Amino acid sequence: MRSVLFLAYPFLVYLAFTRLETRSVGAALLALYLASFTLRLRGSAAGLWAVVRQHLGILALCGVAIWSGERLWLLLLPCLVSLYLLWTFASSLRRGPPMIERFARLVEDDLPDFTLPYCRKVTWLWCAFLAANAVFVGALAWRAPLEWWALYSGFVFYLLMGALLAGEFVVRKLWFRYYQGGAADRILARIFPPEATANGRRSLAYAAERMRRAREAAPTT
């Protein structure tokens, strides 16, 4: 429910401001957000407190908007989310492993060492993207018409994020040339054969080693 609320947030705010004043909008959003926590009441106290602690900034923005009557505080919520994600990604660069490496290990648990510098660079790229988004959303919230803020926060941002994900996917395929047999991989393997680059040859060796280990681990009949 919280994910749906976050995705629809810019348009909910825009529609609400066409009919209600700021304090009413803030109270309605706060009520919706608090209601979403009731879905997690079955969790442990420590788990619930961890979720509440992560979202204290959002709750505070709603509270300040209700107290002050200034809609700016509600418009800053997407900016706050970007700053929180930026802090998460940047912290992973300092403490390790980088966030993109963590995501990659969910798919490839034995991620080869030669991919780790790339994961770090992509984590830096996401840090830059999130920082730029926070600045832009903050500027729109401060000066731009509400319609511009809603259009960017609820539509353009997701287009940009999708373009970044798609672009990174293509760059990763061309850089490592690690193909796993899907239709897109088969096409790319014909156009960009892995044998043509050093990284591609490393990927072939990694795939062959994985296959060898899988055969050895398979039960014999």
Looking at the domain assignment, is residue 96 inside a domain? no
User: Residue 54 sits in which domain range?
Assistant: 1-73
Looking at the domain assignment, is residue 13 inside a domain? yes
Global pTM reads 0.82
Structurally, the chain folds into a number of domains equal to 1
Looking at the domain assignment, is residue 135 inside a domain? no
Tens of pLDDT, residues 77-125: 889 889 999 999 999 999 989 999 999 999 888 888 999 999 999 999 9
Looking at the domain assignment, is residue 146 inside a domain? no
Looking at the domain assignment, is residue 56 inside a domain? yes
For residues 23 and 221, the model is more confident at 23
Looking at the domain assignment, is residue 214 inside a domain? no
Looking at the domain assignment, is residue 157 inside a domain? no
Tens of pLDDT, residues 166-205: 999 989 999 999 888 778 888 888 889 989 999 999 998 9
Give the largest Cα separation in the chain, rounded: 73
Across the chain, what does the average pLDDT equal? 83
Decide if pLDDT at 35 tops 90. no
Where residue 193 falls (left for φ over 0; alpha for ψ -120 to 50; beta otherwise) is: beta
Looking at the domain assignment, is residue 194 inside a domain? no
User: Which residues have CB under 8 Å from 73's CB, separation 6+?
Assistant: 26, 61, 62, 64, 65
